[in-house]
Amino acid sequence: MNCRDIVPHDHLQKSRPMIEAIIFDLDDTLYSEITYIRSAFATVAEFLADRGMGSSHQILSLLEHIHWEIDRDRVFQHAARRLNFDPAWIPELVRMVRSHVPKIEIPPETCDVLVQLCRHFRLAIVTDGHREVQRRKIAALGLDSMMDVIVCTDDLGRPFWKPDPLPFLTACRTLKTNPSRAVFVGDHPRRDIWGAARLGMKTVRIVRHDGYFRHHPDLPEASPHARITHLSELIDCLRSGPKSSHHAKKEYLLENAA
């Protein structure tokens, strides 16, 4: 973790300009997206198993393998060839994924972090994806009640998905804060980090061990202010006070901002 150049709120560091809001991406930021993928594919696997395509366990393993190792965007096309089912089923499988009620839970770590942050900052989510899908994820994770603002970019229109500035500005305006007083936390180097940084927001990139974009390098023109692997590390970035020798060689995320 390398923290630099952002300013805290409240008792965290009263003498400096304030950060007023923390804005989060959703997938692979507040939870591991792989849990949603497994939930969706499990629904599809049951459907295909009922139609004689094999055991649901084997089908689920195949779908996950295709998604993570072969082609994330054409999973069902590859599966149709492997399992020899009619490609005409694919639109129904897509509808099934988008309409299913996801069996996902908020990680305890995320819950703990949000509970701590909400005492000092306004909180928001800015998330890409089909609005119905993202809203079901948010509901399943119980995030509705933990956020002051939720922006699903699909509500603004596909041209305004991240990294377009509109969703970031929409969140800041609704939170009644200037982008320069907000921190954005996300996993994608372009959509999240570059998109937020060009508006003057401070940025934190989370690189989970199972995150889909974990191997994507930071953009030279938009290096994040901090890089973390667990959401709980965000608290360390936002905390101020005397530095121990352990922290002597790194700058704190919320210090020394203009």
Is pLDDT above 70 for 252?
no
Over pLDDT 90: what percentage of the chain?
Answer: 83
Q: Which has more pLDDT, 195 or 250? A: 195
Q: Which residue has the tokens 């804005």?
A: 23
Distance CA 177, CA 197 (A): 15
Residue 158 clears pLDDT 80, i.e. is over it = yes
What's the distance, Cα to Cα, between the start and end of the chain in Å? Answer: 22
Q: What is the pLDDT of residues 85-140, one digit of tens each?
A: 999 999 999 999 999 999 999 999 999 999 999 999 999 999 999 999 999 999 99
pLDDT at 238: 82
- DSSP tag of 124: E
Whether 13 shows a pLDDT value over 50: the answer reads: no
Beta bridge partners of 126: 151
Picking from 156, 217, 214, the residue whose alpha carbon sits closest to that of residue 33 is: 214
- Whole-number pLDDT of residue 256: 31
